[in-house]
Amino acid sequence: MSTATPVREESHDGIPSGPSSQHHPSPHGRRPGGTVGGGLFDPRQLVRSLPQALRKLDPRVMITSPVMFVVEVGSVVTTVLAVAHPGDWFGWTIAAWLWLTVLFANLAEAVAEGRGKAQADTLRKAKTDSVARRLTDDGTEERVPGTGLRVGDLVVCEAGDLIPGDGDVVEGVASVDESAITGESAPVIRESGGDRCAVTGGTKVLSDRIVVRITTKPGETFIDRMISLVEGAARQKTPNEIALNILLASLTVVFLLAVVTLQPFALYAGAEQSLTVLAALLVCLIPTTIGALLSAIGIAGMDRLVQRNVLATSGRAVEAAGDVSTLLLDKTGTITLGDRRAAAFVPVGNATEAELAEAAQLSSLADETPEGRSVVVLAKERYGLRERHEGELAGADWVPFTAQTRMSGVDLPATGAASGADGPDGVRLRVRKGAAGAVCAWVGERGGQVTDELHTQVERISQEGGTPLVVGIEDADGARALGVIHLKDVIKDGMRERFAELRRMGIKTVMITGDNPLTAKAIAEEAGVDDYLAEATPEDKMTLIRSEQTGGRLVAMTGDGTNDAPALAQADVGVAMNTGTSAAKEAGNMVDLDSDPTKLIEIVEIGKQLLITRGALTTFSIANDVAKYFAIIPAMFAVAYPGLDTLNIMRLSSPQSAILSAVIFNALIIVALVPLALRGVRYRPMSADRMLRRNLAVYGVGGLVAPFVGIKLVDLLITLIPGVG
């Protein structure tokens, strides 16, 4: 691998350990392929979306939205009446604004879809027709088109090659550029075995050689599915959306019956109403605002996930995330940084902290593990010990760590008899660092004694959830243990606060770890999670998920390995890491392109934001219908029943102006709410009852007040038009 190529390092479980793992994009941040979200009302986007909005006027499309279909029927009826009476300016104006109402609704959906199509266009640029080097049965290579590959084929990819299809690395290790998928410029490492073997078709190998087993058919690759999903082609209505559609359809039928039966009463009162007025009344009374924005809200919810580099297989997954009540989170890489770090030096006996720190640093100079490097850093920062260089340790015999010895260290050669500090066998100093049992046994074999104080400190660190590493030395004074290095899983900054937010939302957090129960308990208490599952196996995860689901809870979890696939499939929201295996990505209903496990918390927040936005705009839509009663009903019957004029609390100038003002406001409010539908109502962690009170106060009261103000302003403008006021 070229040293000039920056590589995003990853830990053993496929979790990026660099800055990218801590990245939390803003709502207008990076998207797949590196695209950046533009403004909500980009004029070019509006122009591109307008033809699609016009195509959606097709009744076969409109009928999927019962509310807007009724508005379109009303538009057709009023247009026919206007054509029959060409001199009726009122009829033409009502017809025009009803058509604009339908068009604005379609434009809101088209803009939301257009944002996804723009992302899909970027992804298509990454999807190129490639030539694959397929391995034959006799081990030779043959060149075939990428579209000719089949599941199970083995292909060779070297530096500069495009990976021809999705698959798993079965041989070798390489640096891969995945910027076309993730938007992340730094390459990643892909290697055979483990949880970093999955590669994506269309990405580029930058170094070395790998053999990939193809796992998907042509046309069904990850990029193909991404294009389909971000375009909205695979977006299905969610259960809540379907239920809301049924409610809106029911309200529409109720108001339709009310308007139809209103005409006989009008005839009886001697105030017969025209079909144009009745159509205007119907459109103003039915919940057109939420009916117009409902689809855009759902599409925008998926779009917000894509902006955070999370791909949901359907809107159902996004919505389920909003209803999640239990989060299963891996400890390593999610709650903790993933690498244990030296936190303290604990001397025993007559040893000093400085003496222990110097020996610990010396034993860690050749230790390239994160733990070993952290010991060197702690010794330097806390005690000012500079790192030794190779020239200062000439002739040193480094003892590597092995699973058998469970310790590592260094033997320093004698410097001559004059030093007076030479130990046995011509060695001046021996230092060992490792597991307590191994180092204590080494000290005992060298004739040294291990004190009870050492065992006490080892036990204390273990009970606190840390990992004790004992440091022992042998010099002219004999063998002895100097003390213990306290290795600690470092909790990520802000995790305790985030868990507190989730608790206020009524979400239970469960930490999953392979650690022993003692360590797991200590870390869980420090991180602030509600529960933990220690020494977890795949079967344990499945049992826990089913137990939560049996209690009526929706469960979300993350995973990246093949052993996580059953639990990901069982969970209501399964977020697979893009660095993970193909089995994990197939089992989950979301894929995080950044492979950041902490993003599960953001996904839940986005899901809740989707549900809150839908509920808030539904509340606003139904509330603002009330004000329209006070605009239209008095205007329709004030001539026959002068007493109704007292209901004209807005003091609208004339019956025609009142009806026209209500219709115009009904259309314009859709445009005004499109940014809110696409951006989403701001999410705040709070309990369900507080959230309900807040929505009723803001959107319920706002929905009542806004039409009174808006209709009155429109009426004032209309009265300025000669012959209308």
Annotated catalytic residues are 330
Angle, CA 381 vertex, CA 376 and CA 383 arms, to 5°: 90
The pairing of beta strand 131-135 with beta strand 141-145: antiparallel
The phi and psi torsions of 330 (rounded to 5 degrees) equal: -65, 140
Helix (H, G, I), strand (E, B) or coil at 254: helix
Asked if 677 contacts 296 with a C-beta cutoff of 8 angstroms, the reply is yes
Distance, CA of 302 to CA of 514 (rounded, Å): 33
- Tokens representing 720 are 């300025």
Q: How far is CA 537 from CA 110, 467, 512, 559, in A?
A: 46, 21, 9, 13
Distance, CA of 307 to CA of 31 (rounded, Å): 5
Helix (H, G, I), strand (E, B) or coil at 173: strand
> Contacts for 82-87 with beta carbons within 8 Å, 24 or more apart?
82/276
Question: Length of the chain in residues, anyone?
Answer: 725
For residue 382, give the H/E element and its range. helix 370-383
Task: Label residue 137 exposed, middle or buried (CB < 10 Å: 0-12, 13-18, 19+).
Answer: exposed
> Which residues touch 258 (CB under 8 Å, ≥6 apart)?
285
Asked if 614 contacts 673 with a C-beta cutoff of 8 angstroms, the reply is no
Mark 431-457 as b/e (b = at least 16 C-beta within 10 Å). bbbbbbebbbbbbeebebebeeebeeb
- Tokens representing 139 are 């081990």
Give the largest CA-CA distance in the chain.
Answer: 126
Helix (H, G, I), strand (E, B) or coil at 509: strand
Binding-site residues from annotation for Mg(2+): 560, 564
Asked if 302 contacts 318 with a C-beta cutoff of 8 angstroms, the reply is yes
Helix (H, G, I), strand (E, B) or coil at 136: coil
Neighbours of 675 (CB within 10 A): 14
- Tokens representing 127 are 């999807």
Cα dihedral sign, 360-362-368-373: positive
> Which residues touch 66 (CB under 8 Å, ≥6 apart)?
245, 248, 249, 252, 291
Binding-site residues from annotation for ATP: 367, 371, 401-408, 433
Location of structure tokens 């706002």: 702
Distance, CA of 184 to CA of 31 (rounded, Å): 10
Distance, CA of 720 to CA of 653 (rounded, Å): 11
Helix (H, G, I), strand (E, B) or coil at 53: helix
**Using CA atoms in the order 150, 151, 155, 161, what is the torsion angle rounded to 10 degrees?**
80
Asked if 348 contacts 481 with a C-beta cutoff of 8 angstroms, the reply is yes
Q: How far is CA 124 from CA 118, 226, 231, 507, in A?
A: 10, 10, 12, 39
Residue 627: name the closest of 724, 715, 717, 702 by CA. 702
Helix axes 89-126, 222-230, angle to 10 degrees: 170
- C-alpha neighbours within 13 Å on the C-beta side of residue 723: 3
Distance, CA of 151 to CA of 678 (rounded, Å): 39
Which amino acid type is present at position 46? L
Distance, CA of 291 to CA of 678 (rounded, Å): 15
Binding-site residues from annotation: 367, 371, 401-408, 433, 560, 564
Residue 572: name the closest of 400, 350, 316, 376 by CA. 316
- C-alpha neighbours within 13 Å on the C-beta side of residue 684: 9
